[in-house]
Structure 1
Amino acid sequence: MVKVLVVGNGGREHAIATSLLQSPSVQEVVCVPGNGGTATLPRCRNLGLSVKDFEGIARFSLVNNFSLIAVGPEVPLANGIADYLKEQGLQVFGPTQAGAQIEASKAWAKDLMKAAGIPTANAAVFSDATAAIAQVRKQGAPIVVKADGLAAGKGVTVAMTETEAIAAIEAAFGGQFGEAGSRVVLEEYLTGEEASVLAVTDGLTIRPLLPAQDHKRIGEGDTGENTGGMGAYAPAPVVTPELMTRIQTEILEPAIATLRDRGIDYRGVLYAGLMITPQGDPKVIEFNCRFGDPETQVVLPLLETPLDQLMLACTQQTLADFPPLQWKPGAAACVVLAAGGYPGSYEKGKPISGLAQAADTGAMVFHAGTRLIGDTILTDGGRVLGITALGETVREAIALAYEAVDCIQFEGAYCRRDIGHRVLT
């Protein structure tokens, strides 16, 4: 029997824990620090350690014979949690600090893509605002402005005017994203339809999961500020089987081969955020070093293959011999319920009601920004809940997800009402 420790406290980690617990070989899951949802999962408990407490996580795992550590968020990976835990003799699903640079530095990732011949937008890197602004005036708009480092999914501005681009550059160099904004990447504006392909790898072999589509903007019709993600669905029909073959051979395999050429042993998730151009070609917008959020909340509920066995195959470098992945038929959709004011300032501590009624519809309620105080679940973040439903079609899954959303109340609750609009129209 396997005991798994999951690092993180978001909706992604709740979905990972839920999927792990469906495996007949998983005895127990512990989440560090977890949230109000993981606190109430059977055979799951929260451990009140910080994701920065590598030593505490290692000590607990070793003393209690945990077979596997699954790291959810990008920040501890970028800070070297996998390196530290592996040095203690633990099996870790998540790349080393060197591999996590693929997300932690947009400039580093661009260099890797260029070396690997991976199709992506043209880009240039700037270390001061004056030069970056001069480039915007020379190149014109639309243009994409990215903070080089980790900015919790909010460091990207798709600027439709030069004024907007210059404001984004000044905000980045002015400290809006802290150290993450000390460099910016200016990138060619790509048109088309976005898709997310999450793939698992042991550093030698890489296998894609079902393609998904996220909704980054706060407003309906994909308007307003970028967020961590307001909803998703899978499988995304824009990624046909033929296109997935191209993504495998033109993007995923070259990325892993180039990482290996650089001496980086990459084991975990490689997430390719893609733009499918009007010509039908896949181009990489970004790489991430971990499961996507909220894409995980629609991909893992469709996975029939035991997640612990898949993760262990990656950590033990036996993915080439692992059986083909098995998937449930149909589709999944997730709608994020956010706190009023998100992605700007918002209040915490609002009681949440209707969770049992939402679950009674058959939907899965994944907690993201919540905490459990006594018997009450309170809001504790910007993205509060992710409500996922399965259906025979994407349309049916979306309708069932919204049916469950309408059962839940908390002060200031907000969701987009057009998740899946591209596939529905």
Structure 2
Amino acid sequence: MKLLLIGSGGREHALAWKLSKSKKVEKIFIAPGNGGTAIEKKCENINITDIDELIKFAKQEIIDITIVGPEDPLTNGIVNKFKQNGLKIFGPAQNGAMLEGSKSFSKEFMKKYGVKTAEYEVFYDADKALKYLNTCLYPTVVKADGLAAGKGVAICNTKEEAIKAVKSYMIDDIFKGAGQKIVIEEFLEGVEASILSITDGKTIIPFISAKDHKQIFDSGRGPNTGGMGVLAPNPYVTKDILKDFEENIMDKTLVGIIQEGFDFKGIIFFGLMITKKGTYLLEYNVRMGDPETQSVLYLMESDLLEVIEATLSEELDKVDIKWNNGVCINVVLASDGYPGDFVKGYEIKIDDKIKDKVFLAGAKLEDNILKTNGGRVLSVIGLGNTLEEAREEAYENIKGVTFEGAYCRKDIGIFK
């Protein structure tokens, strides 16, 4: 089979790596890909991002299945357009993609179908939002309604912080339209968990749980990033928590997908908060997370392509996904200065012995030399029977990767 994979991050390198292991796969084209996908087995990068050009390419190359990595093309209707052209594609159609594309849409969906989530208010007008800040409880959470590259959420401990967030989103328009409408939400205290899941619109199968580490510095200090490392499975997701999640969040979400008539054959990612009062849904994503994907796929023993094929044929109810019983940690190596300003273009050297445990994200291949090309440059995997073994291997493997200004957290997988 020939596949087309859309995206350019560490998630896409992990997907390409996993899909390439399938005996069914002959070739994977990645559009546009990165330095990691450029050197992955069976893979070839193509410099195309326009949806119409991707459709043209898929037809010319007789692509069997297209797999969409990031959220932007999904919310822009790539699935609808591919299907209109008779092409098989994995991902939700535009209506279902709005579960991530609009915070207010997703919150209304949760409310309508009884999905357990935080209390909230939606605002279209900055003056009304600022007035509401006089009466709400603190801390509070201010969210840009639209896609803001994972940066449109502010946890505000004081009214002053909330005012600053509202003004920057709605008046200063720092997200170029994505914050013109906002959601102000009840702050939930607890432990976050990520549960990537797959659905064919009739069945949802949750993957192994994961625990992301968002802040740049050890002990959860400093500004939020796209993710500095992940542990899977998440030790806080016990059998009781999983039961609570399935009954009060996952099953009710599936009812909503069916009732709303969403054409949803793809990934649905549940961002959870585990509190003393139970498990709440913070947000939906309609694609795999990064860096969660790197850890979760490393633990998946089943053929991912076969799972995707079952999804597209609406036969997920017949699938039993097999998982490694161990623990996987991935640690992100970032450019010095990230998430602020940083320098690109440094050479990346990776020891041959660990190449199968390194997923590149902000990296490019230039004259056969890997170079840094982003803030989060790559993830390094550690696998073990226990959390301690996985941590030890991950940090040992990191010694086999070098580039100027490389920075990582030293406490991925440590909890107090």
Correspondences of 1:98-117 after superposition (within 5 Å):
98-117=95-114
The answer as to 2:356 corresponding to 1:344 is no
* In structure 1, distance between residues paired with 2:138 and 2:356: 42
Q: Tell me the SS of whatever aligns to 2:251.
A: helix
- The equivalent of 1:69 in structure 2 is 66
TM-score (norm 1): 0.95
- The equivalent of 1:36 in structure 2 is 35
> Is the CA contact 2:193–2:210 (under 8 Å) kept in the aligned structure 1?
yes
Q: 1:239-289, CA deviations, whole angstroms, 9 ceiling, x for partnerless residues?
A: 12332233222211211221221121211011000001124x110011101
Question: What letter is aligned with 1:49?
Answer: I
Q: Tell me the SS of whatever aligns to 2:134.
A: helix
Out of 197, 200, 211, the position equivalent to 2:198 is 200
Q: What is the CA distance between 1:347 and its match in structure 2?
A: 2.2
Q: CA 1:362 to 1:65, structure 2 compared with 1: closer, same or farther past 3 Å?
A: closer
Correspondences of 1:280-299 after superposition (within 5 Å):
281-299=278-296
- The equivalent of 1:315 in structure 2 is 312
- The equivalent of 1:57 in structure 2 is 54
Out of 94, 97, 105, the position equivalent to 1:97 is 94
TM-score (norm 2): 0.97
Q: What is the CA distance between 1:19 and its match in structure 2?
A: 0.6
Q: Tell me the SS of whatever aligns to 1:121.
A: coil
* In structure 2, distance between residues paired with 1:340 and 1:362: 22
* In structure 2, distance between residues paired with 1:403 and 1:160: 38
Question: What letter is aligned with 1:360?
Answer: K
Q: CA 1:283 to 1:117, structure 2 compared with 1: closer, same or farther past 3 Å?
A: same
Q: 1:18-49, CA deviations, whole angstroms, 9 ceiling, x for partnerless residues?
A: 11111121111111100001000111111111
> Is the CA contact 1:7–1:31 (under 8 Å) kept in the aligned structure 2?
yes
* In structure 1, distance between residues paired with 2:240 and 2:57: 45
Q: Which runs of 4+ in 1 moved over 6 A?
A: none
The answer as to 2:410 corresponding to 1:414 is no
* In structure 2, distance between residues paired with 1:176 and 1:56: 30
Out of 100, 115, 120, the position equivalent to 1:118 is 115
Moved more, 82-91 or 397-406: 397-406
Q: CA 1:143 to 1:30, structure 2 compared with 1: closer, same or farther past 3 Å?
A: same
Q: What is the CA distance between 1:119 and its match in structure 2?
A: 0.5
Q: What is the CA distance between 1:411 and its match in structure 2?
A: 2.4
Q: What is the CA distance between 1:363 and its match in structure 2?
A: 5.9
Out of 362, 365, 370, the position equivalent to 1:369 is 362
> Is the CA contact 1:234–1:394 (under 8 Å) kept in the aligned structure 2?
no
Moved more, 219-228 or 231-240: 219-228
* In structure 1, distance between residues paired with 2:143 and 2:295: 27
* In structure 1, distance between residues paired with 2:402 and 2:223: 24
> Is the CA contact 2:216–2:339 (under 8 Å) kept in the aligned structure 1?
yes
> Is the CA contact 1:120–1:285 (under 8 Å) kept in the aligned structure 2?
yes
* In structure 1, distance between residues paired with 2:243 and 2:306: 24
* In structure 2, distance between residues paired with 1:278 and 1:419: 24
Out of 247, 259, 263, the position equivalent to 1:261 is 259
Q: Tell me the SS of whatever aligns to 2:242.
A: helix
Residue segments in structure 2 that go unaligned for 5+ positions in a row: none
Correspondences of 1:14-413 after superposition (within 5 Å):
14-50=13-49, 53-173=50-170, 174-279=172-277, 281-322=278-319, 324-353=320-349, 355=350, 357=351, 359-361=352-354, 364-413=357-406
- Give the CA RMSD over aligned residues: 1.4
Q: 1:314-372, CA deviations, whole angstroms, 9 ceiling, x for partnerless residues?
A: 112111122x111112010011111222222322212222x1x2x52476110001100
* In structure 2, distance between residues paired with 1:95 and 1:249: 23
Moved more, 406-415 or 284-293: 406-415
* In structure 2, distance between residues paired with 1:406 and 1:191: 36
> Is the CA contact 1:99–1:266 (under 8 Å) kept in the aligned structure 2?
yes
Q: 1:49-103, CA deviations, whole angstroms, 9 ceiling, x for partnerless residues?
A: 11xx112212222222211111000011011111111111111111011111000
* In structure 2, distance between residues paired with 1:193 and 1:233: 13
Residue segments in structure 1 that go unaligned for 5+ positions in a row: none
- The equivalent of 2:6 in structure 1 is 7
Question: What letter is aligned with 2:192?
Answer: E
Q: What is the CA distance between 1:398 and its match in structure 2?
A: 1.7
* In structure 2, distance between residues paired with 1:57 and 1:178: 26
> Is the CA contact 1:10–1:368 (under 8 Å) kept in the aligned structure 2?
yes
* In structure 1, distance between residues paired with 2:341 and 2:177: 21
* In structure 1, distance between residues paired with 2:156 and 2:401: 35
Q: Tell me the SS of whatever aligns to 2:208.
A: coil
Question: What letter is aligned with 1:39?
Answer: A
> Is the CA contact 2:354–2:400 (under 8 Å) kept in the aligned structure 1?
no
